[in-house]
Amino acid sequence: MNIKFEEKYIADDSAIVIGLPENIKELKNFDELDTLLNGLTEEIISANVLSDEYGKVTTTGVTIQRRYIKVIAVGLGDSSELTALKVQKAVGKLFQFMASEKDTKAQLIADTFAFEPEEVADAVGMMSAVSSHGLTGYNSSDKKQFHDELDITLVTKADVKAGYEHGAALGGSITLARDFATMPPNMLYPESFADHLAVHFKDRPYVKGEVKDFDTLIQEGFGLLAAVGKASVRKPRLVTIEYKHPDAADDAPIALVGKGITYDSGGYSLKTRTGMRSMKYDMSGAANVVGMMDAITKLELPVHVVAVLALAENMVDGNGMRPDDVYKSLSGKTVEVSNTDAEGRLVLADAVYYASTKYSPKVMMDFATLTGAVIQAIGEDRTGVFTNQGRKFINNLLISSKVTGEDIWHLPMSELEDERVKQSDIADLLNADFKPGGASFAAAFINQFTEETPWVHFDIAGTSNTSSSTPFSKKGSTGVMIRTILDLIESGTLYE
């Protein structure tokens, strides 16, 4: 996207883009807007050509200096009710409309949005990237992303460059995560994923990384991750990405752990034909952690963060993991496998134990498309959240989720589930018991390996991808929780 910043409108063949609140005449710059539109503002409003209904995009045309100029307006409703989130959604709908109309060149009059110009610029930076980002790159006739063809001039007297750059950085990180999740499993597998990440983060300041291959995982005792991935010809990897800014206030890092099952057939507990469809998305937890790290490192936030990604394919062959097998974890605890399709909790068990003991984090969060049970419990529009610290620990997380509109729901995990995961007759733990409350069981299983580190588990099975368009995304991967975690970290409230 080509972006320019101007203090006033300069007539050319670009479309004029405005926000249209209900009380537009009360805007401080109404007279300037009216002059811009050749004194036709009153006429346009009274004729109901353009709508101020929130989220509705309408168009008209005006003649300026003998040029016929297209005017695109997005309704903002009552300006007193506007929030940063509502502005983002409106701007997202605006860019989706522009994409459908192939309007790639526009001057956006930021001061008409009845909100802080820097927040509007932030929304433009992010939403221009994420709202129309589609599944491209694999069709022989694929063209450029709409975002790549945009030529936008932000018109405002305010200094909004920093706001735009922040939004653009975050938007790029979200689309990066989506692109990884979208990649076909014959192209993205543990080794290739690790290679992509090594190249991507190679020149980032304050970043160092490590990749453990299959032989190293076996030698170092990652028994569960190795067991899940051993059936595939594409062997598992454990990737760590550590970022430590010199101004980080706390030496103990934030740990972000991602489930990265690049394809999940279910193993010997084989999925059905329909159940196996779209299982390339089973690495969305790892992809979204990559998006978080990408944003944190691009913005050079003054924090210490480490990402641990457990990457594997869950396949079938004569050497594969079977129901009734028992494996020793990195922690030394043994696990009886009752369901090979409950593999995500196994790779996370080794990963969270490694993160806890290697880095002694102040807080640890894991992200995983873990259970269908969470969808049955709270639907496809909410992320299930579990913690070993009680509700107070996640209060600020709940606030950040309200700010970003990424709905989360605190779900229970108690001694009841702790007892259930210890029901094996021959091992320390059982990986599944086929009873109701499967999401809580899975969370309790992972908690056996956290070493009492303050921990939050995000089950994103329902929210990691969508079959319908929203202002933040077209169908496909969503990059869920990237915006929320960035808001939590940037707000400085993570440890409160």
pLDDT of residue 140: 76
DSSP string, 209-265: EEEE-HHHHHHHT-HHHHHHHTTSSS--EEEEEEEE-TT-S-SSPEEEEEEEEEEE-
pLDDT of residue 37: 66
Give per-residue pLDDT as tens, 197-244: 999 999 999 999 999 999 999 999 999 999 999 999 999 999 999 999
Phi, psi of 209 (to 5 degrees): -140, 170
User: What is the average pLDDT value for the chain, to the nearest integer?
Assistant: 94
As a whole-number percent, the residues of the chain with pLDDT over 90 amount to 83
pLDDT of residue 388: 96
Kindly report, as residue ranges, where domains of CATH 3.40.630.10 are found in the chain. 170-491
**CATH class of the 2-156 domain in this structure:** alpha beta
pLDDT of residue 42: 67
Three-state SS at 480:
coil
Q: What is the C-alpha to C-alpha distance for residues 413 and 158, in angstroms, rounded to an integer? A: 49
CATH fold for domain 170-491:
Aminopeptidase (3.40.630)
Residue 30 pLDDT level (bands cut at 50, 70, 90): confident
Query: pTM for the complete prediction?
Result: 0.96
CB 462 within 8 A of CB 409: no
Kindly report, as residue ranges, where domains of CATH 3.40.220.10 are found in the chain. 2-156
Known binding-site residue numbers? 259, 264, 282, 341, 343
pLDDT of residue 410: 97
Known binding-site residue numbers for Mn(2+)? 259, 264, 282, 341, 343
User: In 3-state terms, the chain is what percent helix, strand and coil (to 5)?
Assistant: 40, 20, 40
Q: What is the C-alpha to C-alpha distance for residues 495 and 254, in angstroms, rounded to an integer? A: 10
Give per-residue pLDDT as tens, 153-209: 999 989 999 999 999 999 999 999 999 999 999 999 999 999 999 999 999 999 999
Given 70, 244, 271, 328, the catalytic residue: 271
pLDDT of residue 38: 64
pLDDT of residue 43: 63
Given 86, 178, 280, 345, the catalytic residue: 345
Angle at 330 between CA 328 and CA 336, to 5 degrees: 30
Residue length of the chain: 496
Structure tokens at 126: 């992010």
| Residue 244 annotated as catalytic | no
Rounded to an integer, the average pLDDT of 28-33 is 72
Give per-residue pLDDT as tens, 60-100: 888 877 888 899 999 999 999 999 999 999 999 999 999 99
| Residue 271 annotated as catalytic | yes
